[in-house]
Amino acid sequence: MDPHTSVYESLRRQLSTKQPLDAVFVGLLDTLEALPPDARVAFLMSDIFEAGIDEVSLLLRRDAAACRELLRVARSFIQEAGVCRAPLRNEDQS
């Protein structure tokens, strides 16, 4: 892979040649790339890898309240982007 190509760009190129459903994944990648790094990590760890808020807090070296706020921002941003039609996990499930 070209060192100037991001992982997201590489995945985006691979998925763009696939089926229409893959456009959803391209949209999600674009949206994730637009998030601040800590919000992206918090979202991926919590909603994709199902880590608890304590694990996310340890990884990001932030308190639980700050991580919940990062998750709120990330989830809101992703839903506003229209990538996910189904509701994301709510903050009570974190």
Query: According to CATH, what is the number of the domain 7-83?
Result: 1.10.10.10
Domain ranges of the chain: 7-83
Residues 21, 41: Cα–Cα separation, whole Å: 24
User: How long, in residues, is the chain?
Assistant: 94
- 62-89 residue pLDDT tens: 999 999 999 999 999 988 887 554 455 5
pTM for this predicted structure: 0.66
What tokens appear for 5 in the block? Answer: 């190509």
Q: Would you say 79 and 91 are in contact if contact means Cβ atoms under 8 Å apart?
A: no
AA identity, residue 55 = E
- 58-68 residue pLDDT tens: 999 999 999 99
